[in-house]
Amino acid sequence: MSKTVIGVFSSKDQAEKAVSELRNKGFDKEISIVAKNEDKDANTDENSVMFGGDSLTDGATTGGVLGGIAGLAVGAGALAIPGIGPLIAAGPIAGLLSGAASGGIAGGLVDWGIPEDRGRYYEGQVKGGNIVAAVQSSDDKINSAADVLRNNGARDVETH
């Protein structure tokens, strides 16, 4: 059976380190990131997804500053959700959010088994400028993912 662990990072550096460590532990397609896209400007290619000041979809960043998160470029997308604004989403959650933009982040998380009230909480965290990371994995690996999130500075780490 699959479970989801979710946590909140207050900095891009923390999130990047956690994603990198998760990937080193064998997690890959299970990792999702959602963050406000506050760096998008008029000169940005609409197909380019920004995280910090760097493009997630630019292959040149893979080994650089965004090492861990850039690897999630497959499935990365820029979204605009009413009431929240422009977002970036990478990993499996990107598809959920693009299909349920009217339900916002909370609606997408409910589809992953996160209770609605907690989904609204995490949506508020993203709206406030924090980064939400989630990992869907089997019961036997989910505790390892939760430990990685916590050890890299995530708060409000929960497993559902």
Instruction: Indicate the pLDDT class of residue 132, thresholds 50, 70 and 90.
Output: very high
* % of the chain with per-residue pLDDT over 90: 40
| pLDDT score of 135 | 95
DSSP 85-141: EEEEEESHHHHHHHHTGGGHHHHHHHTTT--HHHHHHHHHHHHTT-EEEEEEEEHHH
| pLDDT score of 77 | 54
- Report the run of H or E that residue 146 belongs to, with start and end: helix 139-151
| pLDDT score of 152 | 97
| Burial class, 109, CB count within 10 angstroms (exposed 0-12 / middle 13-18 / buried 19+) | buried
| pLDDT score of 80 | 58
* Res 48 pLDDT > 60: no
- Model pTM score: 0.75
Beta bridge partners of 87: 36, 79
- The residue-averaged pLDDT of 50-56 equals 42
| pLDDT score of 70 | 47
User: Taking all residues of the chain, what is their mean pLDDT, rounded to a whole number?
Assistant: 75
pLDDT in tens, 134-150: 999 999 999 999 999 99
